[in-house]
Structure 1
Amino acid sequence: MSSEKKYWKSAEQLKENSPLVEALEQKEFAEHIPADEFLGDKEKLEGSQTSRRDFLKYVGFSTAAASLAACEGPVIKSIPYVVQPERIVPGVADYYATTIANGFDFASVLVKTREGRPIKIEKNKEATGLSAGKARVYGSVLDLYDIKRLQNPQIENRDVTWTEFFASLESDLKAKADKKTYLLTQTFASPSTDKLIKEFQENYPNVVHLVYDTVSDEAAVDAFAAKYGYRALPNYDFSKSEMIVSVGADFLADWQGGAFDSGYSKSRVPKNGKMSRHVQFEANMTLTGANADKRVSVKPSLQKQIVVEVYNQIVGKVATTNLNSALKNQVDSVVSSLKSKASGGAVFVTGLDSVEAQAMALEINEKLSSRALDTENPRLIRQGQNSKIQTLISDMKAGNVGALMIAGANPAYSLPNADEFTAAMANVDTTVSFSMKKDETAKLCKYIAATPHYLESWGDVRFTKKDFSLMQPTIKPLFNTRQFEDCLLKLNGNSAKYYEYIKANFKSTYEGLSWNKSLHDGSYVFDMDLPKTSDVPAIDIPAGAKKLVSQSDSEGLELTLYTKVSMGDGSYANNPWLQEMPDPITRTSWDNYVTVSQSDAQALGLENSNVANGALNGDYVTVTLGDKKLEKLPVIIQPGQAPGSIGIALGYGKTEAIQEEMQVGVNAFPLYQNFDAHQTVRLEKVSGVHEFACVQLQHTMMGRRDIVKETTLEIFNTKDKHYWNATPEVSLNHQEVEVTSPEVDLWDEFDRSIGHHFNLSIDLNACTGCGACVIACHSENNVPVVGKSEIRKSRDMHWLRIDRYYSSEDTIQGDYELKNDISGLNSAIDTYGDLENASEGDLQVIFQPVMCQHCNHAPCETVCPVAASAHGRQGQNHMTYNRCVGTRYCANNCPYKVRRFNWFLYNQNDEFDYHMNNDLGRMVLNPDVTVRSRGVMEKCSMCIQMTQKTILDAKREGRVIEDGEFKTACSSACDNGAILFGDINDKESVVYKKTQDDRMYHLLEYLGTKPNVMYQTKVRNTTEA
Structure 2
Amino acid sequence: MASNKKYWQSVEELKGSSVVETLRNNEFVQDIPTDEFLGDKETLETSSTSRRDFLKYVGFTTAAASLAACEGPVRKSIPYVVQPNDIVVGVADWYATTIADGFDFANVLVKTREGRPIQIMPNKEAGGVTSARTQASVLSLYDEKLRLKEPRKGETQISWADADKEIIAKLNELKDANEPVVFLTGTLASPSTEKVIADFITAYPNVKHVVYDAISDSAAADAFEAMYGKRALPDYDFSKAEVIASIGADFLGDWQGGYEKSYADGRRVETGKMSYHVQIESNMSLAGANADKRIVAKPSEQVFALINLYNQVTGGSLPSKATAFDTEVKQLAKDLKKAGSKGVVVTGLNDKNAQLIALAINKALNSEVIDTKAVNLKRQGNDTQVAQLVADIKGGKVKGLITYNVNPLYSLSNAADLAEGIKNLKLSVALSTQDDATANATQYTLPSPHNLESWGDVMAKQGVYGLMQPTIQPLFNTRQVQDVLLKWSGSTVNYYDTLKEFWSTNVLGGASWNQALHDGFFKAENVTVEEEIAFESTADVNAAAVQLVRKANNASGFELNLYSSTALGDGKQANNPWLQELPDPITRASWDNYLTVSMADAKELGFENPVKDNGAIDGNYANVTVNGVTINKIPVIIQPGQAKGSVGLALGYGRTQGLKSEMQVGINAYPFYQNGNNVQYNVSIEKASGWHKFACMQVQSTLAGRHDILREASLKEVNDKKLDPKHTWNKPFMVSYDHQEVEGSKIDLWDEHDRSLGHHFNLSIDLTSCTGCGACVIACHAENNVPVVGKDEMRVGRDMAWLRIDRYYSSTVEDKQHDAKMTLEEFKAQNPNIANQEVERRYTEKVLELSKGDLFDALENPAENPQVAFQPMMCQHCNHAPCETVCPVAATSHGRQGQNQMAYNRCVGTRYCANNCPYRVRRFNWFNYAENNEFDFNMNNEYGKMVLNPDVVVRSRGVMEKCSMCIQMTQATILKAKKEGRAVNKDEFETACSSACSTGAMVFGDINNSEDTVTALKEDKRAFHVLDYIGTKPNVVYQVKVRNTNEA
Q: Among 887, 890, 899, which residue is 1:867 paired with?
A: 890
Name the CA distance, whole Å, in 2 between partners of 1:626 and 1:54: 73
Per the TM alignment, residue 275 of structure 1 is displaced from its structure 2 partner at its CA by: 1.4
Letter in structure 2 aligned against 1:792: R
Map of 2:227 onto structure 1: 227
Cα distance change on mapping 1:100 and 1:189 into 2, 3 Å? same
- Equivalent residues of 2:599, 2:640 under 8 A apart: yes
- Aligned to 2:125, the other structure's residue is in SS state coil
Out of 346-355 and 887-896, give the one that drifted further.
Answer: 346-355
Are 1:694 and 1:791, in contact at CA under 8 Å, matched by a contact in 2? yes
Residue 637 in structure 1 maps to residue 633 in structure 2: no
SS at match of 2:885: helix
Q: What code does the residue aligned with 2:195 have?
A: K
Show the counterpart of 1:736. 741
Is 1:379 the counterpart of 2:363? The answer is no
Specify whether residues 67 and 207 from structure 1 end up closer, same or farther in structure 2 by C-alpha distance, changes over 3 A only: farther
> Residues of 1 paired with 2:105 and 2:28: CA distance?
42
Would you say the 8 A contact 1:77–1:923 is kept in 2?
Answer: no
Deviation at 1:836, TM superposition (A): 2.6
Aligned: 1:320 with 2:319: yes
Matched, 1:492 2:489: yes
Deviation at 1:182, TM superposition (A): 0.8
Q: Which residue of 1 aligns with 2:808?
A: 805
Change (3 A) 1:197 1:518: same
| Corresponding residue to 2:849 among 786, 807, 827 | 827
Unaligned ranges ≥5, structure 1 = none
Partner of 1:772: 775
Q: Following TM superposition, by how much is the alpha carbon of 1:487 offset from its aligned partner in structure 2, in angstroms?
A: 0.6
1:136 pairs with 2:133:
yes
Taking a change above 3 Å as real, the CA distance of residues 696 and 812 of structure 1, as seen in their structure-2 partners, is: farther
Deviations 1:505-562 (A, max 9, x none): 1111121221100000000011434699999992321011122122222111000000
**Residues 39-438 of structure 1: pairs in structure 2 closer than 5 A:** 39-40=38-39, 43-52=42-51, 55-56=54-55, 59=58, 63=62, 67=66, 70-71=69-70, 73=72, 83-128=82-127, 131-148=128-145, 149-177=147-175, 178=177, 179-258=179-258, 260-324=259-323, 326-342=324-340, 344-438=341-435
Query: Higher mean Cα deviation, 305-314 or 829-838?
Result: 829-838
| Other-structure match for 1:817 | 822
Q: By how many angstroms is 1:425 displaced?
A: 1.1
Kept after mapping to 1: 8 A contact 2:749/2:1031: no
Question: Do the aligned residues in 2 keep the contact of 1:786 with 1:797 (CA within 8 Å)?
Answer: yes
C-alpha distance in structure 1 between counterparts of 2:45 and 2:535, whole Å: 80
Per-residue deviation, 1:346: 1.2
Instruction: Tell me, in whole angstroms, the C-alpha distance in 2 between the residues paired with 1:357 and 1:394.
Output: 27
* CA–CA distance in structure 2, aligned partners of residues 506 and 287 of structure 1: 38
Fraction of identical pairs, as percent? 56
- 1:313 alignment partner AA: Q
SS of 1:296's equivalent in the other structure is strand
Bigger Cα displacement from structure 2, 567-576 vs 61-70: 61-70
Seen in structure 2, the aligned counterparts of structure 1 residues 99 and 64 have a Cα distance that, compared at 3 Å, is: farther
Q: Which amino acid in 1 is paired with 2:488?
A: L
Partner amino acid, structure 2, of 1:150: L
Unaligned 5+ segments in structure 2 are 828-842
| Residues 190, 822 of structure 1: alpha-carbon distance in 2 compared, 3 angstrom cutoff | closer
For 1:175-222, what per-residue CA distance to the aligned partner results, in whole angstroms no more than 9, with x for missing partners? 222211111111111011101111111111110111101111111111
Query: What corresponds to 1:665 in structure 2?
Result: 666
3-state DSSP of counterpart to 2:144: coil
Matched, 1:541 2:541: yes
How many Å separate the matches in 2 of 1:126 and 1:252? 21
Q: Please name the residue that 2:621 is paired with.
A: 620
Q: Decide whether aligned partners of structure 1 residues 228 and 57 sit closer, same or farther in structure 2, where only a CA change above 3 A counts.
A: farther
Which residue among 926, 947, 953 is the counterpart of 1:903?
926
Give CA-to-partner distance per residue, 1:641-670, whole Å, 9 cap, x none: 000000000000000111000000000000
Tell me the CA shift for residue 240 of structure 1. Answer: 0.9
Q: What's the offset of the Cα at 1:451?
A: 0.8
Which residue identity is paired with 2:772? G
Aligned equivalents of 1:33, 1:708: Cα separation in 2:
31
- CA–CA distance in structure 1, aligned partners of residues 415 and 241 of structure 2: 41
> Could you tell me how far 1:147 is from its partner in structure 2?
1.5
Cα distance in 2 for partners of 1:277, 1:776 equals 31
Q: Distance in 1 between matches of 2:110 and 2:56?
A: 50
Distance in 2 between residues matched to 1:196 and 1:863, nearest whole Å = 65
Code of the aligned partner of 2:576: N
Local SS of the residue matching 1:126: helix
Please say if residues 228 and 537 of structure 2, whose CA atoms lie closer than 8 Å, have aligned partners that are also in contact: no
1:595-617 CA distances to partner (integer Å, 9 max, x unpaired)? Answer: 00011111111111100111110
Supply the distance in 2 between the matched residues of 1:965 and 1:475 (Cα, whole angstroms).
27
> Whole-Å Cα distance in 2 between the matches of residues 802 and 828 of structure 1?
32
Moved more, 201-210 or 584-593: 201-210
State how far apart, in whole Å, the 2-side matches of 1:671 and 1:455 are: 33
Q: In structure 2, what is the equivalent of residue 21 of structure 1?
A: 20
What does 1:586-625 align with in structure 2 at a 5 Å threshold?
A: 586-625=587-626
SS at match of 1:609: coil
Partner SS, residue 560 of structure 1: strand
Q: Distance in 1 between matches of 2:391 and 2:530?
A: 29
Report the 3-state secondary structure (helix = DSSP H, G, I; strand = E; otherwise coil) of the residue aligned with 1:977.
coil
Cα drift, residue 687 of structure 1: 0.3
Change (3 A) 1:2 1:937: farther
TM-score after normalising by structure 1: 0.96
Residue identity matched to 1:910: N
| 3-state SS of paired residue (1:444) | coil
CA contact under 8 A between 2:695 and 2:794: conserved in structure 1?
yes
**Could you tell me which amino acid in structure 1 is paired with residue 745 of structure 2?**
T
1:702 CA drift (Å): 2.4
Letter in 2 for 1:727: P
Which deviates more, 62-71 or 5-14?
62-71
Distance 1:483 1:544, change over 3 A: same
Going from structure 1 to structure 2, the CA distance change for 1:251 and 1:145 (only over 3 Å counts) comes to: same
The answer for the alignment partner of 2:836 in structure 1 is: none
Q: Confirm or deny: 8 A CA contact 1:293 1:1021 kept in the other structure.
A: yes
Alpha-carbon offset, residue 286 of structure 1: 0.3
Question: How far apart, CA to CA, are the structure 2 residues paired with 1:894 and 1:308?
Answer: 53
Q: Could you say what secondary structure the match of 1:791 adopts?
A: helix
CA displacement at 1:818 relative to structure 2: 6.2
**Distance between the aligned counterparts of 1:532 and 1:198, measured in 2?**
26
How much does 1:57 deviate?
A: 6.8
> CA 1:219/1:69 → structure 2, altered by over 3 Å: closer, same or farther?
farther
Stretch deviating more after TM superposition (536-545 or 514-523)? 536-545
State the Cα deviation string for residues 23-42 of structure 1 (Å, max 9, x = none).
Answer: 11211112132233234566
Instruction: Report matched runs for 1:499-514 at 5 Å.
Output: 499-510=496-507, 511-514=509-512
Q: Once the 2 structures are TM-superposed, how far is the Cα of residue 20 of structure 1 from its aligned partner? A: 1.2
Aligned counterparts of 1:831 and 1:245: Cα–Cα separation in 2: 35
Aligned partners of 2:645 and 2:769: how far apart in 1?
32
Superposed displacement of residue 15, structure 1: 2.3
CA distance in 1 between counterparts of 2:536 and 2:162 reads 43
Stretch of structure 1 that moved more, 58-67 or 903-912: 58-67
Q: Which residue type is aligned with residue 464 of structure 1? A: K
> How many pairs are equivalent?
1017
Partner SS for 1:585: coil
Deviation at 1:929, TM superposition (A): 0.3
Are the aligned partners of 1:649 and 1:668 in contact in 2 as well (CA < 8 Å)? yes
Residues 1:782 and 2:782 are matched in the alignment? no
Indicate whether 1:579 and 2:580 are aligned.
Answer: yes
Q: For residues 5-34 of structure 1, what are the alpha-carbon distances to aligned partners after superposition, in whole Å with 9 as ceiling and x for unaligned?
A: 110001111224x32122112111121322
Q: Distance in 1 between matches of 2:665 and 2:40?
A: 36
Report if aligned partners of 1:604, 1:685 keep a CA contact under 8 Å in 2.
yes
**Equivalent in 709, 731, 739 of residue 707 of structure 1:** 709
| Residue 650 in structure 1 maps to residue 651 in structure 2 | yes
Q: TM-score if structure 2 supplies the norm length?
A: 0.94
- Secondary structure of 1:562's aligned partner: strand
